[in-house]
């Protein structure tokens, strides 16, 4: 069962200036982090349930909290995955989606099944001497709605991946 | 020596190939060009002086000198250019780097900075800023927002309702920035949109700065009883500054839409495989 109340409560506690400006003692900061993490977990279930109901498809949704530092186990380890982009604004937006991936060639299809231009960008890592690969594509998302994009990695075995198995679904 | 630039149909950002620093921003749509030098600096935190025993701490920002020191005078750079993104990676030091990024169709320049862990082995507390220097004549004025709503005019060393005796030339001119800060010369406007609340100021005409990270060794004795010191090796912070250069008449529309998109950003959720049909019944 999903629940947004624990996150609301954690956010209410974190309105205090100690949480915003860093004027809290270390043990209090640790507790703020604990409350946020505990609040987010049932909220993820709530979002998953909402997406399942709106898209009519039940999925094991993954939330990548470390996308800003190019860590996302699903996109890095999967040959095929779906990207749901939700737009909370009351107008249509175009958003550049960046996902860390393993080295390779990828095909991205929009909700109407059309292939969208994508690039795999090879970047120097800030943390190690290794290079990172990031898949970049532009997503178009309707006002207060979501779009589901399908991504397939092309390997020797599925070089005919042009006919993507993942069935795209229209934006809602 | 050659000129390094990234550009799309609206913006061109030029870098000095000798120093690796941002040198110029051009709005090609409105035919505007502004020399902009951007880099990272740090203020040495005060631990108290002859005038006051007040130290810089969690509650108090009090640098010991008004002039900050550069993290580095040059950056090692790496350029990435594809059809969908152009980036210049700037490495200032082992603890400070930045990616300057431009996507097609984008009317702003994206600066993604990574700062930390701030070294304190030299026993100096540090307050790190990103500073933009331009030749704009701003007449001591700059603008910051109030909770993303009303934009307030700020005047250096001045308060609108009383005669100010400025005793802190840096901190006394710092203001909260919730979503944006800008400077203008009446003709063009340089706006920086933040992804989080920060402190910001314009300490010289044409200059604009935002504090991005701090690490201090002394408690400011305001009740916390702990210095603003991360346990362990220290925190690494990553954030973004979105830079808009436009005519004054056009600026408000642009930064309002951009801030909306930044604050209510699209959310990405991933799923493996195809899933199974679902009905709420």
Is the distance from CB of B161 to CB of B169 less than 8 angstroms?
no
- A28-64 residue pLDDT tens: 999 999 999 999 999 999 999 999 998 888 889 999 9
Q: What is the pLDDT of residue B230?
A: 80
Strands B198-201 and B207-215: antiparallel
Q: What is the pLDDT of residue A20?
A: 83
Q: What is the pLDDT of residue A131?
A: 80
Q: What is the pLDDT of residue A163?
A: 43
Q: What is the pLDDT of residue A164?
A: 43
Rg over CA atoms, chain A: 19
What residues in B contact A72, CB-CB < 8 Å?
270
Measured CA to CA, the distance from residue A42 to residue B201 in angstroms comes to 40
Q: Which of A123, A131, A140, A142 has the highest number of chain B CBs within 10 A, making it the mutation to test binding with B?
A: A123
Q: What is the pLDDT of residue A45?
A: 95
Mean pLDDT over A161-167 rounds to: 45
- B111-155 residue pLDDT tens: 999 999 999 999 999 999 999 999 999 999 999 998 878 999 999
Measured CA to CA, the distance from residue B210 to residue B251 in angstroms comes to 20
Angle, in degrees to the nearest 10, between helices A5-13 and A26-55: 150
Label residue A137 by pLDDT band (50, 70, 90): very high
Is the distance from CB of A84 to CB of A61 less than 8 angstroms?
yes
What residues in A contact B80, CB-CB < 8 Å?
121-123
Has residue A161 got a pLDDT over 80? no
Label residue A128 by pLDDT band (50, 70, 90): low
Is the distance from CB of B6 to CB of B25 less than 8 angstroms?
no
CB contact under 8 A, B272 and A81: yes
Q: Spell out which chain B residues touch chain A, with contact meaning CB-CB distance below 8 angstroms.
A: 58-59, 78, 80, 82-85, 87, 89, 97, 103, 105, 114, 197, 222, 224-226, 228, 231, 238, 260-261, 264-280
The rounded mean pLDDT for chain A is 88
The DSSP string of A43-60 is HHHHHHHHHHHHHTEE--
Mean pLDDT over A138-164 rounds to: 79
Exposure of B60 in the CB half-sphere (CA atoms within 13 A)? 25
Measured CA to CA, the distance from residue A140 to residue A117 in angstroms comes to 12
Has residue A7 got a pLDDT over 70? yes
Measured CA to CA, the distance from residue B81 to residue B59 in angstroms comes to 43
Measured CA to CA, the distance from residue B231 to residue A152 in angstroms comes to 42
Whether the CB of A70 is below 8 Å from some CB of chain B: the reply is: no
Residue ranges in chain B whose pLDDT is less than 50: none
Measured CA to CA, the distance from residue A161 to residue A146 in angstroms comes to 25
């Amino acid at each position: 069962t999903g629940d947004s109340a624990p996150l609301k409560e954690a956010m209410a506690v974190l309105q205090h200036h100690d949480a915003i400006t860093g004027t809290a003692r270390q043990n209090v900061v640790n507790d703020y982090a604990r409350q946020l993490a505990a609040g987010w977990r049932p909220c993820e279930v709530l979002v998953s349930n909402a997406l399942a109901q709106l898209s009519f498809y039940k999925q094991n949704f993954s939330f990548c909290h470390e996308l800003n530092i190019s860590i996302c186990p699903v996109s890095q380890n999967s040959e095929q995955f779906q990207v749901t982009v939700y737009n909370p604004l009351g107008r249509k937006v175009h958003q550049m989606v960046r996902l860390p991936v393993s080295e390779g060639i990828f095909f991205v299809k929009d909700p109407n099944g059309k292939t969208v231009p994508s690039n795999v960008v090879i970047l120097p890592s800030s943390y190690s001497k290794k290079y990172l690969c990031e898949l970049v594509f532009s997503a178009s998302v309707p006002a207060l709605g979501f779009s589901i994009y399908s991504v397939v990695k092309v390997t020797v075995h599925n070089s005919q991946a042009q006919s993507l198995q993942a069935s795209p679904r229209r934006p809602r | 020596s050659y000129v390094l630039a990234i550009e799309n149909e609206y913006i061109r950002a030029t870098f000095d190939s000798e120093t690796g620093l941002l040198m110029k921003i051009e709005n090609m749509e409105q035919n505007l060009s502004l020399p902009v030098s951007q880099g990272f600096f740090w203020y040495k935190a005060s631990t108290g002086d002859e005038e006051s025993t007040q130290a810089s701490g969690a509650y108090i920002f009090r640098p010991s000198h008004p002039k900050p020191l550069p993290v580095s005078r040059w950056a090692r750079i790496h350029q990435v250019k594809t059809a969908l993104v152009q980036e210049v990676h700037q490495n200032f030091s082992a603890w400070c780097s930045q990616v300057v990024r431009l996507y097609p169709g984008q009317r702003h320049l994206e600066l993604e900075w990574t700062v930390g862990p701030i070294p304190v082995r030299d026993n100096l507390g540090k307050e790190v800023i990103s500073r933009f220097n331009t030749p704009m004549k701003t007449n001591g004025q700059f603008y910051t927002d109030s909770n993303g709503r009303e934009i307030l005019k700020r005047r250096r060393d001045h308060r609108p309702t009383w005669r100010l005796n400025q005793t802190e030339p840096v901190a006394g001119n710092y203001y909260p920035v919730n979503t944006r800060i800008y400077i203008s010369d009446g003709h063009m406007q340089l706006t920086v949109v933040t992804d989080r609340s920060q402190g910001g100021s314009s300490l010289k005409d044409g200059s604009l700065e935002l504090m991005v990270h701090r690490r201090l060794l002394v408690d400011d004795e305001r009740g916390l009883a702990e210095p603003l010191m991360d346990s362990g090796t220290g925190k690494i912070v990553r954030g973004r500054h979105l830079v808009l250069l436009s005519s004054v008449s056009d600026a408000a529309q642009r930064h309002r839409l951009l801030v909306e998109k930044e604050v209510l950003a699209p959310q990405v959720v991933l799923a493996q495989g195809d899933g199974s049909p679902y009905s709420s019944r």
